[in-house]
Structure 1
């Protein structure tokens, strides 16, 4: 069997899709987080291996109930594989992970095994538009990053990138950024109220966040945010789940509350938070954009390019529109706008199509 595999490795989940030679989806599976920057190589391999194994179980009809062992025994079933990995940001990182993935699939390092940052998967739809050859891929999910590409005869060439530095250094537009900005604005309103001698405006978002942490007032949230990561040996059944989370997740997990409060309840505070994060994200994306010249030979003109979004936050149309409106205010209006809700499926189909084209 000649199978084409694409694996989207992100900070929240791993998604694997397997296609046949005609591009028909034969199997798929979801697994745990596999951001390469946050895991050891062993933990990364474990997350990816389990997800691919589960995807292979669904290829058979009826689906197999027995685990599919990897590396494969005998000849590999995979004609080619494409890994889009969050946290893979350098040639050195690719070189580090290549032997592991090559052995795991039984595919030799080379043209049949593609390993790149997960933004590459989002840029694939540029090939659907004959009148352009530039794309800007934007991920806004657990983290945030934007990367520009030119579609060339031998594949996508990365031109420039901004962001994707992780939650400590900055993941603008992503879940941590949204959660942090919500808490910052809650605290700022409370500080201002202390100066004015009047209570801060009522906010559905503030109420929800305090309830999430089991708190009665805003200043108490400083302890909730800064308390060290919990040790499994000292947690008790009475410990709130929010305090057993690692510190990054305590803030990034607030993003759904912000979105709910903004787009379902029109809460002014929540809307200001998202306006702020979308403006910052748009400013970051705009670094990639403009007229190409000596000072920026890799800039991309938005009007002759595609912007392709992926990730849970930018999957919300209202938030996506905030980012596009902020870009438009800076003079950047894209010819095409895409949202890729299943990057692994898009990548697997594209991989199969590219091999079919080579045969033709």
Structure 2
């Protein structure tokens, strides 16, 4: 293989690497744990990149010569300097070139048209590309300052509702119990003692979406409340694009794959 391309999606729950050759054929895939540039230590972030890349290239005995690597990572803000992240990647992966961007930028495909990209996974972010090199960002400030409409936001809202007795005996409470979440002070202690409380809360998001689809009023209300700001960001991002041009829309993240016929 004379040259190849590696794409690494480093998110708040998983890091996934895909190796393709010059003809677009997938040659390998790899996976590691969470790698958020703003949340995790530099050592942990680099280790996740290195592990996922090593797995993706294992069948070839290592990273092929002249490989071009693009790392899209949660926690990198549009307009921020990425030199430190790129330098760190070069230390752990030997390749021809390195590019580091926000993880949402991985979904952008230069087509000559403006593009709107939105991710709602463990975290959330919205990007508007008026040109391939001109981009604005909404959200993406992480779990302490943002992550509106994300799995983390839904999981946190559900636990809050339970602990304030907002849920009562509704279906959402039952689903949280099935997820083995302690609905008392033990649950609070477990959360604060967790190595990754953000991911722990995000893992409860399916309880909210499933309960909403089953007709639970509390879950439906939580879903509307927690996604309202993300919807506002999408509207603002769309308004920022040239009005006379058709725009591409690209959606990513687990929550963007959930179809909820009962929630409007």
Normalising to structure 2: TM-score of the pair? 0.86
Q: Among residues 111, 126, 129, which one is paired with 1:146 in the alignment?
A: 126
Matching of residue 209 in structure 1 with residue 194 in structure 2: no
- Give the structure 1 partner of residue 234 of structure 2: 285
Q: Among residues 252, 255, 258, which one is paired with 1:310 in the alignment?
A: 252
- Between the aligned partners of 1:245 and 1:77, the Cα distance in structure 2 is 37
* 8 Å contact from structure 2 (residues 191, 200) kept in 1: no
| Structure 2 unmatched runs, 5+ | none
Q: Among residues 180, 192, 200, which one is paired with 1:229 in the alignment?
A: 192
Q: CA deviation at 1:317?
A: 2.9
What pairs up with 1:104-253 in 2 under 5 angstroms? 104-107=92-95, 112-124=97-109, 127=111, 133-151=113-131, 156-186=132-162, 190=166, 202-210=169-177, 212-215=180-183, 220=184, 224-225=187-188, 229-230=192-193, 244=194, 246-253=196-203
- Give the structure 2 partner of residue 22 of structure 1: 23
- Between the aligned partners of 1:246 and 1:146, the Cα distance in structure 2 is 24
- Give the structure 1 partner of residue 8 of structure 2: 7
CA separation of 1:251 and 1:106: change in aligned 2, threshold 3 A? closer
* 8 Å contact from structure 2 (residues 113, 245) kept in 1: no
Q: CA deviation at 1:286?
A: 1.6
* 8 Å contact from structure 2 (residues 130, 241) kept in 1: no
Q: CA deviation at 1:11?
A: 0.7
Q: Which has the larger radius of gyration?
A: 1
| Structure 1 unmatched runs, 5+ | 191-199, 231-243, 291-297, 326-360
RMSD over equivalenced CA pairs, Å: 2.8
Q: CA deviation at 1:186?
A: 4.3
Q: CA deviation at 1:260?
A: 1.9
- Between the aligned partners of 1:182 and 1:311, the Cα distance in structure 2 is 19
Give the secondary-structure state (helix, strand or coil) at the position aligned to 1:229. helix
- Between the aligned partners of 1:255 and 1:314, the Cα distance in structure 2 is 12
- Between the aligned partners of 1:249 and 1:24, the Cα distance in structure 2 is 32
- Between the aligned partners of 1:184 and 1:229, the Cα distance in structure 2 is 14
- Between the aligned partners of 1:137 and 1:269, the Cα distance in structure 2 is 29
- Between the aligned partners of 1:202 and 1:228, the Cα distance in structure 2 is 23
Give the secondary-structure state (helix, strand or coil) at the position aligned to 1:209. helix
- Between the aligned partners of 2:234 and 2:73, the Cα distance in structure 1 is 20
Spell out, residue by residue over 1:57-79, the C-alpha distance to the aligned partner (whole angstroms, 9 max, x if none). 13x4xxx6xxx4xxx6xxx6233
CA separation of 1:301 and 1:282: change in aligned 2, threshold 3 A? farther
- Between the aligned partners of 1:318 and 1:174, the Cα distance in structure 2 is 15
Spell out, residue by residue over 1:257-308, the C-alpha distance to the aligned partner (whole angstroms, 9 max, x if none). 1122222x22222122212223221012222222xxxxxxx44549721221
CA separation of 1:228 and 1:114: change in aligned 2, threshold 3 A? closer
- Between the aligned partners of 1:302 and 1:226, the Cα distance in structure 2 is 53
